[in-house]
Amino acid sequence: MNLITHLTPQQLRQAADLQERIAELQRELAELLGAVLEPAPATSVATETQAPARRRKISAAGIARIRAAQKARWAKNRASAPAPAAKPASGRRKMTPAGRARLAALARERWAKVRAEGGSRL
């Protein structure tokens, strides 16, 4: 969010004056200390743009080292992990006849209650 767009002209003028005073005080300090300071870049209060940060690149060799190290970590982890338990031949679980009868009885009770109240939907 750019805060400058919400400033009044008087506030903008005051900000510019403050910036000029800061630059002047920096020049005076440099003279007093006898140091040669690089002048601050001329930035306007109205624009607050900065150059985007440059991304660092990893060399192919660096990527290869990272890849090899990660593969070694995975191999070490797999070697120390217990073997997974064997799954049943069928992926689906079967319902016992008793369980199926219990669910059917519950459904009949629900429907009987709905019909007793005069409804046709659950």
Secondary structure, 3-state, 20-44: HHHHHHHHHHHHHHCCCCCCCCCCC
Residue 86 is predicted with a pLDDT of: 73
Q: In this model, does residue 3 exceed pLDDT 60?
A: yes
Residue 106 is predicted with a pLDDT of: 96
Q: What is the tens place of the pLDDT at every residue in 41-59?
A: 655 555 556 778 888 899 9
pTM of the model: 0.28
CA dihedral 34, 36, 41, 43 (to 10 degrees): 10
